[in-house]
Structure 1
Amino acid sequence: MRCVILDDYPGVATSYADWSVLEGLETQALREHLGDEDAVAAALSGAEVVVAMRERTPFPASLLQRLPDLRLLVTTGMRNASIDLDAARAADVVVCGTSSLPTPPVELTWALVLGLARHLVPEVDAMRRGGPWQSTVGADLAGATLGVVGLGKLGTRVAAVGTAFGMDVLAWSPHLTDERASAAGVRRAGALTDLLAVADVVSLHLVLSESTRGLLGERELAAMRPSAFLVNTSRAGLVDTDALATALQQGRIAGAGLDVFDEEPLPAGHPLRTMPGVLATPHLGYVTEGNLRTHYTEALADVVAWRSGEPVRVLT
């Protein structure tokens, strides 16, 4: 039998879990992203088991039909919108997942907020180049307003850090109640545009769905303050990328911290890589040692359980 691990960018999958326990199963980890369905189908030809990094490589019905040997598809995390679960069931492919740590994306969110507020990239670049000494003026977080869009598991943690910084925290989501907001120690905004109009920092923490796709478009971005920062460590589809680029180019918002993009890896010539006011990271939200160890050890456990005929964490 053959097992292929996809999108192991940092090359740690086989060192963070002992795949040698899978006797009779050849394990191969691929570090390079496979850019199209033909390349994926070729790389996975003959593989009975595939371990996929959440939403990196899509598994639509058209691809699943080209993988007749595939029997088990493990994804990191317990949600993966890029897998056609109905098609997988029809093809008799078991799809299961792993748990994820909630803290890594929260920590990266604050790295981006602080990087934007204190202009860390231009200041560090200037230091390295021997350029001007202290060429920017940072924004104060204490006393500023943090707008958290989506007060779930991650948003609540982000809000708590904002409170610790002495920020006034305002939250909004489509179904947020005053009771839930109060329990998290924040105020509930009556509407998304109400939050956008007063927030100095807006941080997105919603699940991407048909109802939230393009949630922040031209109208919503126009409601933001010119001095405000937008941070997105959730999903790129929550924001209209073209409208965001225009708002940044025209100086209608002060900057954006982005860890997620419509196309990943982001093409080398993409303007978001070099646009002033953008602090961009290559989807690092989940990439910590603790989280990847959790992903790969639990993925291995899923494979072991499946081979033994034991229950696995099936996605529904």
Structure 2
Amino acid sequence: MQRIVYLERESVIADVRRPAFAHDWTEYPKTAPDELVERLRGATIAIVNKVPLPAAAVDALPDLKMIAVAATGTNIVDLEACRRRGIVVSNIRGYAEHTVPEHVFSLLLALSRNLFAWRETVQAGRWQQSDQFCLFDHPIRDLHGATLGVIGSGSLGNGVIRLAEAFGMRVLRAEHRAAAVVRPGYTAFAEVLAAADAISLHCPLNDETRGLIGEAELQAMKPTAMLINTARGGIVDEAALIRALREGWIAGAGFDVITAEPPPAGHPMVDPALLALPNFLLTPHVAWASRPAMQALADQLIDNIEAFVAGNPRNVVT
């Protein structure tokens, strides 16, 4: 009999079917870090999303055999501790290959066409007072003919590339920053920074990518360029980004992720003055969260658990 504990049921709005094998199922709407070990005591399978599973917690759970991460990113789990214990960690893949790219282009279009600035202009009565049929208060740029740099080309990056090509954009796939050799079909990291009119991030957060975009990288970008981040907050140095926006190193940024989620009071990325800038858009980690995508995630989550119990684990990270 498998004992399954779902620690953060409220993290997905979907019909989560029960696995097709004998099991005991317990779920909690949400779980705080100090509640984790007690709630997982005796569990053989843990379903997690954002609550951290450090090595100390893994080592305190001798019955644990599988961690089913209800997301793609696995940086919340101490993977080395799981390897030592032989615990299988599986994640979710490909479920957001349409919804995240659509969100990326929502941000790109809003920024390139200055939609929020135009909305404020109309609200302020400028159009109503105009002596001609339109206004020219804010610049508008087309995506057609622009260059998009994509950093990270898994299913989400590839989904963004498909939409970019449909818009008539030139696409550059960025090679790893530290790569000695540039693979066919890729472009050197520094060249992408210098050439792109917009950059979209789709890499995981790990030791290699933490702080990948910092002051030097932002200053290497065109002053007319935009930065889109729907990956993880820690990939971008937030202090450098704020300076870049305020001092005009880049033209704009659209973010769906930041380093602390939800942001605590006083977090610089939710400073009212920053959020009031027309060239900065921040959404609350919802690029992945269309209803069809969440249902696909829930279905794949149970598929992963059933495959593990059947002896054929899938989407294995460790």
Which residue of 1 is the match for residue 60 of structure 2? 66
Shift in Å, 1:110:
1.0
Does 2:48 correspond to 1:49? no
Query: Does 1:169 find its partner at 2:200?
Result: no
Residue pair 2:226, 2:250 contacting (<8 A) in 1 also: yes
SS at match of 1:74: strand
2:24 alignment partner in structure 1: 25
From 181, 185, 190, the equivalent of 1:180 is 185
Distance 1:280 1:163 in 2: 25
How far apart are 1:48 and its partner, in Å? Answer: 3.5
SS at match of 1:19: coil
Q: Which residue of 2 aligns with 1:216?
A: 213
AA at the equivalent of 1:194: E
**Is residue 3 from structure 1 mapped to residue 8 from structure 2 by the alignment?**
no
1:107 to 102, 105, 116: 102
| Rounded Cα–Cα distance in structure 2 between residues aligned with 1:116 and 1:210 | 30
Asked if 2 retains the 8 angstrom alpha-carbon contact of 1:76 and 1:99, the reply is no
TM-score (norm 2): 0.79
Instruction: Evaluate the alpha carbon distance shift between residue 8 and residue 113 of structure 1 in structure 2; reply closer, same or farther with a 3 A threshold.
Output: farther
8 Å CA contact 2:255–2:281 kept in 1: the answer is yes
Q: Is the 8 A contact 2:4 2:44 kept in 1?
A: yes
Write out per-residue CA displacement over residues 162-189 of structure 1, whole angstroms, 9 at most, x where no aligned residue. Answer: 23222233332125846324xxxxxx3x
Distance in 2 (CA, whole Å) between partners of 1:45 and 1:167 is 52
Deviation at 1:111, TM superposition (A): 1.4
Counterpart of 1:281? Answer: 283
Once residues 197 and 312 of structure 1 are traced to their aligned partners in structure 2, the CA distance between those partners, rounded to angstroms, is: 42
2: distance between equivalents of 1:146 and 1:136? 22
Shift in alpha-carbon separation, 1:194–1:126, aligned structure 2, 3 A: same
What's the secondary structure of 1:51's corresponding residue?
strand
Q: Distance in 2 between matches of 1:151 and 1:89?
A: 26
Secondary structure at 1:161 match in 2: helix
1:146–1:20 CA distance, 2 compared to 1 (3 A): closer
Computed over aligned residues only, the root mean square deviation of the Cα atoms, in angstroms, reads: 3.0
1:58-97 to structure 2, matched below 5 A, reads: 58-76=52-70, 80-91=74-85, 93-97=87-91
**In the comparison of the two structures, how many residue pairs are matched?**
299
Q: What is the percent sequence identity of the aligned residues? A: 35
Determine the structure 2 residue equivalent to 1:272. Answer: 269
Deviations 1:255-285 (A, max 9, x none): 1111122222222432322412321112223
Letter in 2 for 1:62: A
Q: Distance between the aligned counterparts of 2:100 and 2:167, measured in 1?
A: 18
Whole-angstrom CA distance in 2 between matches of 1:150 and 1:301: 26
Q: CA deviation at 1:67?
A: 3.1
Opposite residue 289 of structure 1, the aligned amino acid is R
- Tell me how far apart the structure 2 counterparts of residues 78 and 218 of structure 1 sit (CA, whole Å): 28
- SS of the equivalent of 1:40 reads helix
1:61 Cα deviation after fit: 0.6
2:242 pairs, out of 217, 228, 245, with: 245
Question: What does the per-residue CA deviation read over 1:61-95, in whole Å, with 9 as the maximum and x for residues that have no partner?
Answer: 11212334433311135662332233224445332
Q: Which amino acid aligns with 1:40?
A: L
Letter in 2 for 1:4: V
Contact 1:52 1:73 in 2 (8 A): yes
TM-score normalized by structure 1?
Answer: 0.80
Amino acid at match of 1:64: V
Contact 2:94 2:155 in 1 (8 A): no
